[in-house]
Structure 1
Amino acid sequence: MRRLLWLSFIPFFLWSCEDKMDEHYEVPGWVKGSAWELLSDESMDGQFSMFLEAAERAGYYEIMNGRGLMTVMAPDNNAFTAYLSEHNYSTVQDVPARELKELIGFHLLYYSYNKGSMENFRPEGEGAYDEGTEILDPGLYYKFRTRSSGEPTREVDPLTGKSVTVYHLERFVPVFSHYFFSSKKIDAKKNYEAFYPNSTWTGNDGFNVSEASVKEYGLIANNGYIHTINKVLEPLGSIYDQLKSNTEYSDFLAMYDKFSIYTPNDELTQKYGSALNADTLYLHSHRSPLAPIAMEWYKYDYQRLDTLAYRAYSLFAPNNTALSEFFNSYWKNSGYADYNSLDPLIQTLFLNEYVYSGSVAFPEEIVNGTVTTASGTKYNFDPYASDVNRKMCVNGSFYGLSKIQTPILFNSVSGPAFHEKRFLNFLYAMNGANLLSSFGAENEKYTLLIPDNSAFEADGIFLNYYAEGGKLEQKPEGEWEAVSSDELQRIIRAHTVMSEEVELKKQGTQIVPIQSAFCYWFVKDGKITCSNHFNGVLEPGSTIDPFVEFEEVTNSGKPWANGKTYTYKANAISGLFEAETEDGQGSSLQKALAICQDTRYPYYCFAQLLKQADMISGETIAGLAGRTIAFIPTNETLKNALAGKEIPGADKLMVYEDGTLGLIDSGNGLTSDEKIELKKYISNYFLVASSVPSACYPGSKMENGEYVNYSGNTIVYKDLGTSLSIQLKDGTKVVQVSGKYNYFPFCYNDGCFHFIESLLM
């Protein structure tokens, strides 16, 4: 009992210590018999002699007979004989030394694990890990580090073209317990045997080790535990190795390898560089967001045993035929010659759709939809089908596919950005704004307006390429700098309608609310503009038509999966449609009125009345807060009203022949009482922000009814379907909103306004 109790604490002691590959730990002297001694004991009847012979040839005698804590997976002679026969060897002596070292090392685990510890490995131990440790359901920590590692390889870094020495980290062996499958809520036998069709699931009361069943659990040695198994464990390769070893997936691998990253590792170089005759040792990974499928470990960090024991990747790799068929159906008629001609971002996003980065994925999880693409959608294939190549790997699972579905992002409203070169800049904008994945939502509806590349360039935004990939950049100060994520989000918002599939009209007018508040698309007779650009028609001397032609972009004549997509070309006003900033730093209605000095603005006289009433404070209007709706009498209307003394408090004001507004007698300004009276009257033309649901226009969300203005009076608002009217509740006159601008509101970040051609009375 004393012996069992001590061994049960071995893993917890080690988890709290620094992991050093070449050190051993002291054990009490009263624990007798090493793993080597136990397996070679006469009581074993020599049934492990072939395993021990192989271990000695591979150089593991000292480790197995030493005091370093370990767990041994020991195949008996029957298992070893079967292995030799399968690989066309007659004896252990026939197996090449390097192969033997990797083979036997895969049976030797670091640290000591009894049956219970392997069934439900808990890397958090007795509080040995910090708050960042992932605490998972029983059995999900399924990987255990072994002493097996691949031989260093010479590979070519695509960024430098130089040959480097790549170090391969020690393999982890997968241990699948009954807890593992019950925690995943999937059938153990069906899912295990899907990956190991030549093995039998026998772990209902324990575990299977990779392809092997356990014959006897937990033989106790003074340096750990021994579990005897019925098969020799074949060292698993990485997902990358699986791709590389099968030419059927060479096209997918070639595309994936374009994003290889070779990172020098000082720690590995210091430990092993000299012995390997290498000045520098490198780790081979891949550029984010692609999974580093060439790495044997999820991440290089000895201390994060929780991550290393649980995290894995699953790759769903289309074979060459499947890739070719998809390219021909999706890209062949879009100006691309082959996969190599695709933009690197398109390639990256395409590849990433076939990687699951949660943990090892089993067929039943794919069927249930708990394993999803990078876009969050289900994989649509039969993982049990005979044409699906399933392999368990040291860093996850591999599925080789003979057919592939169109990734949802490529089939959604964002599809044209993947499909056509002319929309490439918008793809980079969506990705840089971190909004791309949202357009792949299958249960949402969108209307997307995609500007072509020329629209970006008209705004001074260009796509530049560097070794690490493409970037949208501009030159505000003469030097290239990346367009910020906030600015890219603003661009995307200006081109997106959320939760609605909108049919843009080719005749008549139409107002479409977009993702940003108080921002709209205006459609007129088959042309389109945004509310921000439309405000330009008020600029003095402007003769530019803000409307540009648009067209629908279909999915080769078919609809996109979750909405409609249109495109437009830039015009002389500006390139890209614009939306106001969320922080209110965009164009301002209050500022436009506060700073107005040019008589050519059609709201000039109204702005001057605000000043005469002392309502202007810097660039704001005193008393106004939040978004408001204003109804502004035109210059001509106010000129006539002043002449007729119709405006309370403004009898001393007039409009001169040059259009300016001022005092009739320069020496006789407005009194305080007159200013108060004028302010109270002018405030009738602004609706209180809290009562304003949206900009108003025929068919808007602003309902017919009564609204409070800034004078505290009530405005009766009516949407007549094709026109608008307002009236003071106690007033005598119904005022029609001007239709000169097709009832398109002039919108700003702090509200909007319409013109009216008579006064509120």
Structure 2
Amino acid sequence: MSFYRLQLYCIVFVLTCVGCRKAAFDEYYGRPEWLASPIYQQLDSMGDFKSFLYCIELAGYTNTLGSAGSWTVFAPTDVAFAQFMDEQGIGSLDDINKTLAEKIVRMSMAYDGERVEKLNDYFSQQGWLPGFAYRRRAVYYDFVEEETTTDGKTRMIVSTNRQPDAGYVATDNNNKHLTYFFNAYMDTRGLGAADYNVFYPESQYTGLNIGGAQIDPKRHNIIAENGYIHVVDKVLAPEQSIDQYLRGKEQYSAFKEILDFFATYSYNQNVSQRYAVLSGRKDSVFTKGYTALGMSLNNENYAKEDFNDAQVNNNSVTVPTNEAVRDFSKRVLLKYYPSGTTIQDVFYSNSSILVEFINSHFYQTQLWPSRFDTERNSLNEAPKISRANIKEAKMLSNGAFYGVDACQSANVFQSVYGNVLLDPKYNLMQTALERFGLNLTLKIPTLRYMLVMVSDLELNRIGFEYDPYNTTDPIRYNGAPGTPKMREVIQNQIIPLENYPIPDLSGSGLLEAFSGEYLIYDNNRLSSSGTLTQTTANEQRVRIDSTNIGTALSGPLNGIAVYSARAMLSSEVHAGNFLKSLGAEEATSPYFRFFSYLKNTDMWSESDGVIKGVELGLNYTLVIPNNEAIDEAIANGDLPAVPNPTSVLDIEKTKRFIQYHIVRNTFAIDGKKTGAFETLCKDIEGTILSITITQNQTNSLQIRDNANQVTSADVTNSNRLGQRLLVHSLNGYLQNGI
């Protein structure tokens, strides 16, 4: 055999082997004949998607939908396209530009190929949760857009992709979402056609809807090599975000004007560079967001607490018309401001008012029409308007939008705190209440209070001033940080009413403040331990100028606001000196004998009148046996015969006797507090001894002691107010049982 023939045989052999291997490779790895065609090819073969295919090609998505990948495509028929073009005034396909084609195609595509049945499942961090989802992230997203400012200028913006104060994530495109309405989701939640048709009155609810379109019941779940096709009867063009929608609606401009005060614009270098590359323009691009509010109206991502949480929830807004906003502003927001004040003035002087107003119109959940009258807003408050107020409803890309003809009213405007918040004469009091978190309690409708209003002028008079440069402690007291003193003053003005009725201030009685201090009211005058130390009668008993119980939208529903010229202050006199001021050093005083024993113990400090064990800043009640009761205690051997004993046993007996008559916490003879109270006295094992109030009425008090004996109070010489202190006189004495 010649060399050339041998070489030929070898070549043939090699080619044969290679051919066999390729056939085996193709058989094993090649595309199966039974595999469905890609989405693009299938649409092409069906024959009634020419318009959609034209847009796919124009948008540059032929390869994307004609090869590998995983997509869910909601494909509009040619009939659907004809209807869309007629509605939009588009004469022919040639009039559709690349930008519109991209919007249509990308809004018709959702990530991951899913059957209709699977779209109701929520893809959470924990895996698939069946039946929770009704939204999907579309491929489409807005990038840079032009916004016109109120003065007619323009700027380039990109929308924030997180909720307020959560920043902007450069890797998140802020994709818009598709909302669908399937029986599998709606039926289990008591929803149906009535809810759907509020948003889409021109569409028929079939339980297989996506936006305003119907999914063809016979042409869905069409499997393709790269996903699923679901045929729809309408073109799914991108919906606007709430922020975008409001820009073009003059009837809501008053509400939008308030929103704009909270809009923020920060230069975005990364997006500016990308925009320059893509557009050839060198405009500065700003990230638009919102601060201080409960929602960013241009964020498409819901809360992003879970990567896909927008699949299972949505934001909602109720936006009042201009007439409603102006009416509410006049009656409520500007109620205490001088004529000529604008909403912008309110924003710069006290933006908290507008934050409460705006947030009362936000819902951090999907607000369905059938639940409009019951769903709680972002402030967790029940609605103040009803379905009858709805004038317009739309399911926008990032939330349910309701145009309404009346304003929501935040609870705070109807609470006792509303009198402080809305009135600029009480800004310093507002600052203090917010500083200590007490404003949160005062605006809860179910918690009732009497609030003594203290103006800026009065707080300035007693030594407080606002320091705008100190962000940690903005209130100063006579030039020094004023937090402890201010907290005491503010707490003295807050009187929890609990379940008791609003007091008739024209009568008389006692009220316990948040601080534990007690106030006396008598014939429309107020007194505190601090006012009672003043020199003139008018300063001791402060006249009540007016009160505000109010009605809906105009005043407090959870109590009463009391206006007077002076604050209810605490006394600066220590407990021992307070007893002196009550005449305890005079033999005719019911406190005389008890005081004689007290000042001869080591509990007494002559220099400042402090009683050892009575700590500053805490509350105490002194229940003092009268002179006859002290004689009885001596006769029974519970006190030594003289107030200055010398034996260790008698000294200790005297001290324990006194300690057992000093009670931790305060209680007045006012018909309210009963039960056990600790004293300063301890037994030999260190256990704190208590007394028990068995009866408390407005004109009587009975106390049971450790020996199970009951002693009554001398009401005439009781209810004396001291520095975080009440003094009562007893007709008997309390036996500690030691």
> Does 1:146 find its partner at 2:139?
yes
User: What's 1:180 paired with?
Assistant: 185
Q: Indicate the SS of the match to 1:227.
A: strand
Distance in 1 separating the partners of 2:614 and 2:300: 65
Tell whether the 8 Å contact from 1:389 to 1:400 is kept in structure 2 after alignment. yes
Equivalent residues of 1:104, 1:148 under 8 A apart: no
Alignment partner for residue 352 of structure 2, among 345, 351, 355? 345
Q: Quick one: which amino acid aligns to residue 175 of structure 2?
A: E
TM-score norm. by structure 1 comes to 0.73
Q: Secondary structure at the match of 2:122?
A: coil
2:231 to 228, 232, 237: 228
Asked if structure 1 preserves the Cα contact closer than 8 Å seen for 2:144 and 2:156, the reply is no
Report the Cα offset of residue 258 of structure 1.
0.4
**Counterparts in 2 of 1:316 and 1:511: CA distance versus 1, 3 Å:** same
User: 1-side partners of 2:729 and 2:503: how far apart?
Assistant: 26
SS at match of 1:217: coil
Q: Which position in structure 2 is the counterpart of 1:214?
A: 215
| Letter aligned with residue 388 of structure 1 | K
Structure 2: distance between partners of 1:35 and 1:111:
13
How far apart in 1 are the matches of 2:451 and 2:578? 39
- The answer for the alignment partner of 1:548 in structure 2 is 542
Greater Rg over alpha carbons, structure:
2
Aligned 1:43-192 pairs, distance under 5 A: 44=46, 46-124=47-125, 126=127, 138-149=131-142, 151-154=144-147, 163=155, 165-167=157-159, 169-183=174-188, 185-192=189-196
Question: Aligned residues, how many?
Answer: 664
Q: Residues 312-363 of structure 1: CA distance to partner in whole angstroms, max 9, x if unpaired?
A: 2211111011112223333565335343333321111111111111x22111
CA deviation map 1:386-429 (0-9, x unaligned): x6110111111110012335443323333323543323444444
Specify whether residues 170 and 212 from structure 1 end up closer, same or farther in structure 2 by C-alpha distance, changes over 3 A only.
same
Q: 2 CA distance for matches of 1:138 and 1:648?
A: 78
Provide Cα deviations, 1:21-57, integer angstroms capped at 9, x if missing partner. xxxxxx996555322122112xx0x211100101221
The correspondence of residues 382-461 of structure 1 with structure 2, limited to 5 A, is 382=387, 388-436=391-439, 438-458=441-461, 461=464
Q: CA deviation at 1:372?
A: 3.6
Deviation of residue 68 (structure 1)?
Answer: 3.3
For residues 675-718 of structure 1, give each alpha carbon's deviation from its aligned partner in whole angstroms, at most 9, with x where no partner exists: 1343354345345x5xx8x513254434899x998798989988
- SS in structure 1 of the partner of residue 297 of structure 2: coil
Say which structure is richer in helix: 2
State the partner residue of 2:17: none
Check the 8 A contact 1:108/1:146 in 2, yes or no: yes
Relative to structure 1, the CA distance from residue 94 to residue 708 in structure 2 (aligned partners, 3 Å threshold; closer, same or farther) is closer
What letter corresponds to residue 385 of structure 2 in structure 1?
N
| Equivalent pair of 2:711/2:730 in contact (CA under 8 Å) | no
Going from structure 1 to structure 2, the CA distance change for 1:462 and 1:109 (only over 3 Å counts) comes to: farther
Q: Relative to 1, partners in 2 of residues 1:677 and 1:149: Cα closer, same or farther, differing over 3 Å? A: closer
Determine if the alignment matches structure 1 residue 316 to structure 2 residue 318.
yes
Secondary structure of 2:86 counterpart: helix
Aligned-partner SS, 1:555: coil
Deviation, structure 1 residue 259: 0.6
Contact 2:630 2:733 (C-alpha < 8 Å) held by counterparts: no
Cα distance in 1 for partners of 2:309, 2:446 equals 33
Determine the C-alpha separation between the residues in 1 that align with 2:154 and 2:465.
31
Q: CA 1:152 to 1:91, structure 2 compared with 1: closer, same or farther past 3 Å?
A: same
Q: Is the 8 A contact 2:699 2:715 kept in 1?
A: no
The aligned amino acid for 1:525 is N
One-letter code aligned to 2:424: K
> Do residues 366 (structure 1) and 369 (structure 2) align?
no
User: What CA distance in whole angstroms lies between the structure 2 residues aligned with 1:253 and 1:755?
Assistant: 64
Question: SS in structure 2 opposite 1:414?
Answer: helix
Q: Are 1:36 and 2:30 matched, yes or no? A: no
- Of the three residues 630, 648, 656, the one matched with 1:672 is 648
What's the counterpart of residue 196 of structure 1?
Answer: 200
Corresponding residue number in structure 2 for 1:248:
251
Name stretches of at least 5 consecutive residues in structure 2 with no aligned partner.
1-28, 161-173, 586-591, 684-688
Note the C-alpha offset of 1:490.
8.4
Cα distance in 1, alignment partners of residues 110 and 643 from structure 2: 97
Match of 1:283 in 2: 287
Deviation at 1:512, TM superposition (A): 1.4
The CA distance in 2 between the partners of 1:408 and 1:715, in whole Å, is 40
Correspondent of 2:623 among 631, 649, 652: 631
Matches within 5 A, 1:645-660: 648-649=639-640, 651=642, 653=644
In structure 1, the gaps of 5 or more residues are 1-26, 128-134, 580-586, 654-668
- The change in CA–CA distance for 1:157 and 1:264 in structure 2 (over 3 A counts) is farther
Q: Percent identity?
A: 17
3-state secondary structure, aligned to 1:522: strand
Deviation at 1:307, TM superposition (A): 2.2
Q: Equivalents in 2 of 1:279, 1:257: separation in Å?
A: 22
- CA offsets per residue over residues 451-471 of structure 1, 9 Å max, x none? 2233443455556779xx999
CA distance in structure 2 between the aligned counterparts of 1:28 and 1:157, rounded to whole angstroms: 62
Per-residue deviation at 1:638? 13
Is contact 1:461-1:474 (8 Å) kept? yes
Letter in 2 for 1:195: F
Superposed CA RMSD in Å reads: 5.0
Once residues 732 and 174 of structure 1 are traced to their aligned partners in structure 2, the CA distance between those partners, rounded to angstroms, is 74
* Contact map agreement 2:548 2:556 (CA 8 A) in 1: no
Task: Give the distance between the partners of 1:304 and 1:597, measured in 2 at CA.
Answer: 61
Amino acid at match of 2:132: G
> Structure 1 residues 109, 556: CA separation in 2 closer, same or farther (over 3 Å shift)?
closer
Q: Is the 8 A contact 2:659 2:681 kept in 1?
A: yes
Maintained 8 Å contact 2:360/2:378 = yes
Match of 2:166 in 1: none
